[in-house]
Amino acid sequence: MNVKLRLYVIVILLMSIGIGVIAYKHYILGFPLLPDQKKAVWSVEARIDFTARGDPVIVSFALPPQAPDIIFTQEEFASPDYGFSELPSTSGRRAQWSKRSANGHQTAYYRLSMHEVDHVVSSITNDLPTEPKKPEFDELHKTAATTLLDQVRNKSANTETFTRELITTLNSDAPNQNQGLLLKEQASEDYKTQLIIDLLALEGISARIVRGLYLQSNRRKQSLSNFVEVYIGNEWLLFNQTTGKIGKPKNLLVWQRGDESLLDVIGGKNSQISFSIIKNVQSTRNLAVKDNLNQQATLMDFSIYSLPIEQQNAFKMILLLPIGALIVVIMRLIIGIRTSGTFMPILIALALIQTTLISGIILFLIVISIGLLIRSYLSRLNLLFVARISAVIIVVIVIMAGISIISNKFGIDQAMSVTFFPMIILSWTIERMSVLWEEDGPREVLIQGSGSLLTAVIAYLFMTNRTIEYLTFNFPELMLVNLAFILILGQYTGYRLSELYRFHSLDRRNAPR
């Protein structure tokens, strides 16, 4: 009983470690559980154009801030002959290009590749607002603003609804006099944003400007859109400044927060900025591996991914073996199939992976039958055991060479893959089958032979399944879960399926009529 308890503790431990690591890799590191998951990777290019006047030039450009829900896989800065540096500033990162003297049309590029993260770990930001700065309006504007605010205040219940109401009122199709006065005719987006922030400040609400880029496939000459972010109840809420809609749109990349300028060009004029966007689709798993290797997650540092590619490929195969072992355990303990040699089917399955199924089975049968024929002659020679098995090995090699050479002459390429079969295992199989034939007759040979082949084919089907192949390689922790299963199966004392057949006469004879 005590032993049983200990076993269950081990099983539960193995299971939870295995599943825990899988969950960690899936939810935190972003490894997908299926092989074909794809993810959109956005490439954004910002192009800065300006005309230099022959003086020293400094171009300062706001860069998008890191966010928990996106990962920047690559950032590039390009512009010929410019010195470049990336500077942190109070409201985010900025890129700075500089040159002693430049003349004529100048271009600078900033390229960014990024993708979204499925599972965001929310982190508490200590991004506290500053005290709202009271705007300076002249008397006329101040009156208009106060009237508007009174009107909006009446229609709202809290800061959130107040902000939304303010934005919709300002954007209404039929502006009244006050709104018209405040907005002026044909006001720029930036002016409108500033106005909203100012009006909110009058009300004592902290707000700031947010510039963002809509990520849409294959767009060129895009510009940033303005949003208003309002501090409400310990968090910042984003408002669309045209519709008043709350929350960050799904495909919006926040480029800049705060009222610092987007682009400053010193020593140049006619500066312009335009964005183009390209969408690529990449395998989620590759992205996850790349990201985590870059970030040097400890789990990744000590994982198979840190090995050279060649070894990784070897492990792809090796990590499939436990699946084969599980199949053999199930086939023998639960189904009750008799195989010749416990793990011979797995090795045959491995060979089948190399040779493909049908040609592999045909080759296997040819080698075994010729081997059995020759072995039956050997048994008449009265050889000692070790000499006999050694002789069989040589016979097997001769058969394999023969098959390869003959099939090559006939142009059957597939038959040449016979070399993938493990020779020693084939020899042992022949030896065992032949002893079995002598002792228990051909029927038993047929039963065990087809049992082995069936197990091998089933193991092959599992081991070549794309999803299983993917899971075993990318989640080696599955081995622990597999081990736990095998430990549990080792406790199985119920009937094997074959025994239900073996004892079937007992059932029939005693059945109530």
What number of other Cβ atoms are within 10 A of residue 176's Cβ?
13
CB 426 within 8 A of CB 457: no
From 203, 198, 277, 271, select the one nearest 241 (Cα to Cα).
198
Query: What is d(CA 326, CA 328) in angstroms, rounded to the nearest whole number?
Result: 5
- To another protein, the closest distance from the beta carbon of 460 in angstroms equals 26
Q: Which amino acid is at 205?
A: I
Three-state DSSP class for residue 167 = helix
CB of 205 within 8 A of CB of 132? yes
Burial class (CB in 10 A: 0-12, 13-18, 19+), 119: exposed
- Min dist CB 484 to another protein, Å, is 18
In the complex, what is the shortest distance from the CB of residue 344 to another protein, in angstroms, rounded to a whole number?
A: 15
**Shorter beta-carbon distance to another protein: residue 269 or 509:** 509
Beta carbon of residue 510, minimum distance to another protein (angstroms, whole number):
6
Q: Give the residue among 60, 66, 130 at the shortest CA–CA distance from 92.
A: 66
Where along the sequence are the contacts to another protein (CB under 8 A)? 333, 336, 379, 382-385, 435, 438-441, 444, 491-497, 499-511, 513
Q: Which of 44, 46, 57, 45 is nearest to 105 (CA)?
A: 57
| Smallest distance, another protein to C-beta of residue 441, A | 7
Nearest CB to another protein, comparing residues 233 and 494 = 494
Beta carbon of residue 446, minimum distance to another protein (angstroms, whole number): 14
- Residue type for 425, please? I
**Best CA proximity match to 82, nearest among 39, 42, 48:** 48
Please, what is the minimum distance in Å from the beta carbon of residue 372 to another protein? 16
Cα dihedral sign, 338-340-346-352 = negative
**Concatenated DSSP letters for 9-46?**
HHHHHHHHHHHHHHHIIIIIS---SSTT-EEEEEEEEE
Q: How far is the CB of 373 from another protein (least distance, A)?
A: 18
Shortest Å distance, C-beta 15 to another protein = 22
Q: Which is nearer to another protein, 296 or 493 (CB)?
A: 493
Q: How far is the CB of 2 from another protein (least distance, A)?
A: 14
Rank residues 174 and 381 by Cβ distance to another protein and give the closer one.
Answer: 381
Q: Which is nearer to another protein, 133 or 504 (CB)?
A: 504
Contact yes or no for 46/272 (Cβ under 8 A)? no
Q: Smaller CB distance to another protein: residue 214 or 343?
A: 343
- Compute the half-sphere exposure of residue 446: CA atoms within 13 Å on the CB side of its CA: 3
160/244 Cα distance (integer angstroms)? 10
Beta-carbon contacts of 504 under 8 Å, excluding residues fewer than 6 positions away, are none
Q: Which is nearer to another protein, 205 or 392 (CB)?
A: 392
Q: Residue 500 Cβ, how far from another protein at the closest point, in Å?
A: 4
For another protein, the closer of residues 235 and 438 by Cβ is 438
Q: Which is nearer to another protein, 251 or 498 (CB)?
A: 498
Q: How many CB atoms lie within 10 A of CB 29?
A: 17
Query: Per this entry, what is the length of the chain?
Result: 513
- Nearest to another protein of 188, 491 (CB atom): 491
What count of Cα atoms within 13 Å lies in the side-chain half-sphere of residue 176?
Answer: 8
Which C-beta is closer to another protein: that of 130 or that of 493?
Answer: 493
Q: In what order do the strands lie in the sheet with 57-62?
A: 83-89, 92-99, 57-62, 263-266
3-state SS class at 97: strand
Cβ at position 296, least distance to another protein in Å: 47
Q: Confirm if 245 and 6 have CB atoms less than 8 A apart.
A: no
Give the CA distances from residue 130 to residues 127, 211, 228, 343, in Å, rounded to whole numbers and listed in that order: 10, 19, 15, 70
Output 3 or 309, the one with its CB closest to another protein. Answer: 3
Q: Cβ of residue 32: shortest distance to another protein, in angstroms?
A: 38
Q: Which is nearer to another protein, 263 or 433 (CB)?
A: 433
